[in-house]
Amino acid sequence: MEELRVSGMNNIGEMKTEYDTIQYIVIKLGDEQYGVDIKFIDNIVRMQHITRVPRVPDYLKGVINLRGEVIPVMSLRLKMDLEADEITKATRIIILKLEQHGTIGIMVDEVKEVVTLTMDEIDKITYDGKEDKNVFLTGIGKHDNELISLLDLNAVVMDR
């Protein structure tokens, strides 16, 4: 199967945290770039058939079979009130392992690269009121003159 195993990278991530760096996988939603903390990622799979589950919020796309386990999949776009996904060759499902919510997949338009950010490259976000989108972010990362919005995965996955 064409999957990107990231467990190896995970170790590197742990090693580097000693020097106050965090590794992020950079994904694209439309024109925006988002960063997903690598330590929560189990693996990344290509788009596959999703079985719809009735009577759930529309951002929950359904379930997939991941090597014999049934994993729920949500659309990051719908969750963030963006336009519905357009499935292309680049569409990927990132399988996350979260302590609170168990294993869950999130659909993204494209997975770009892995970046290592040091703490001074990350700007924490301070909230003024509660703008919808901001609630899902922990900070903004600066890398190669580009900005990466760093996702707060627990907030993304949590029910609204």
Partner 1 sequence: MDVNQYLEIFLDETKEHLENLNTQILKLEQEPEDSDTINEIFRAAHSLKGMAGTMGYKRMQALTHDMENVFSEVRNGTMKADSNMIDILFQCLDALEEYTSTIQETADEGTNDNQQLIDQLNRYLNPGEKKENSKGKSGKEKKDAGEEGFTGKWTDIKIGETERLVFSSAKAQGKSVYGLTVYIQESCLLKAARAFLVYKAVEERAEIIVCSPSAQDIEDEKFDLDFSLLVVSECTLEEILGVTEGVSEIERVVGAPYECEAVPVEEGGNAPAVSTSAVQTTQSQPQTQTQSQPQTQSTPAKTNDKKTGGKPVVNRTVRVDIEKLDVLMNLVSELIIAKNSLVSASNTDGVSSSGFNEQIEYLESVTTNLHESVMKVRMVPIESVVSKFPRMIRDLSKKLDKKMELYMSGEETELDRTVVDEIGDPLMHLLRNSADHGLESAELRAERGKSPVGSIFLDAYQDGNNVVIEVRDDGNGIDVQAVKNKAIERGVITPDQGDNMTEKDIINLLFHAGFSTAKEISDVSGRGVGLDVVKSKIESLSGEVEVKSQLGQGSTWIIRLPLTLAIIQALMVAVGGEKYAIPLGSIQTLEDISPSDIKLVQNKEVINLRGSVIPIIRLSDELDIESSKAPDENLVVVIVKKGENLAGLVIDELRGQQEIVIKSLGRYISKCKIISGATILGDGEVALILDANALI
Q: Which residues bind partner 1 (CB under 8 A)?
A: 49, 51-56, 60, 62-65, 68-72, 101-104, 157
Closest CA relative to residue 43, chosen from 76, 86, 1, 79: 1
Q: Minimum distance from CB of 154 to partner 1 (Å)?
A: 13
The sign of the torsion formed by the CA atoms of 37, 43, 45, 49 equals negative
Closer to partner 1 at the Cβ: 55 or 130? 55
Closer to partner 1 at the Cβ: 24 or 136? 136
Q: Minimum distance from CB of 60 to partner 1 (Å)?
A: 6
Q: What's the DSSP call for residue 158?
A: S
Q: Minimum distance from CB of 25 to partner 1 (Å)?
A: 21
- In this structure, the number of other CB atoms found within 10 A of the CB of residue 63 comes to 16
d(CA 135, CA 65): 30
* DSSP letter for each residue of 72-97: EEEEHHHHTT-PPP---TT-EEEEEE
| Terminal Cα-to-Cα distance of the chain (whole angstroms) | 34
Closer to partner 1 at the Cβ: 52 or 89? 52
d(CA 11, CA 32): 28
Closer to partner 1 at the Cβ: 61 or 77? 61
Q: Minimum distance from CB of 64 to partner 1 (Å)?
A: 7
Q: Minimum distance from CB of 102 to partner 1 (Å)?
A: 5
Closer to partner 1 at the Cβ: 76 or 148? 76
